[in-house]
Amino acid sequence: MLRHFDTLIELFEAFPTEQHAIDHLTAIRWRNGRFCPLCGNADGARIGTLTGSNTHKCYVCRQRFSIRVGTIFQDTKLPLRKWFVAIWLINAHPKGIASTTLAKDHEGWRDRQDGRHGNHGAPRRVAGRCGREHSHQQP
């Protein structure tokens, strides 16, 4: 389920839309069955999905939630696809990637996604550097 992508092109092809990325995260999170991240209810029959949306509802605690709740993506509005690209870029550069490079790649990616190639001004500058050496995760 956790596929390896050799190139960014492969990643784009695997996730042509945001819904593909949401479906992928859903498949990973609920690979052992549905559960509520808010109350811990693990009875999948008591968790519904609102028609035509990515909003789920727990019939135990009566709360609604998205698949992002309880993940590192919870408090961000950045689309999952962009996160996947950022994660891929960081993993593709084992010695670290300058956040400015990440920002430039993001700008180029956004232009391609929008079907525009015009100049949107200078790439957004973000200070600092990010990479595996700063991560707390084990390889």
Considering only residues 8, 61, 69, 126, which one is a binding residue for Zn ion as defined by CB under 5 A?
A: 61
By CB under 5 A, is residue 38 in contact with Zn ion?
Answer: yes
> CB under 5 A: which stretch of 17-25, 61-69, 73-81, 87-95 binds Zn ion?
61-69
Given the DSSP bridges, would you call strands 129-130 and 97-98 parallel, antiparallel or unpaired? antiparallel
100 scored as a contact of Zn ion (CB under 5 A): no
- Please identify, using beta-carbon distances, which residue of 41 and 71 lies nearer to Zn ion: 41
Q: Which helix (H) or strand (E) holds 100?
A: helix 99-114
State which of residues 27, 39, 42, 50 lies at the interface with Zn ion (CB under 5 A): 39
Q: Helix axis angle, 99-114 relative to 80-92, nearest 10°?
A: 140
Token pair belonging to 101: 């490079």
Work out how close the CB of 64 gets to Zn ion at its nearest, in angstroms, rounded to a whole number. 10
For Zn ion, the closer of residues 47 and 102 by Cβ is 47
Q: How far apart are the C-alpha atoms of 128 and 41, rounded to whole Å?
A: 40
Binding segment for Zn ion among 35-43, 76-84, 96-104, 127-135 (CB under 5 A)?
A: 35-43
**Distance from C-alpha of 66 to C-alpha of 80, rounded to nearest angstrom:** 12
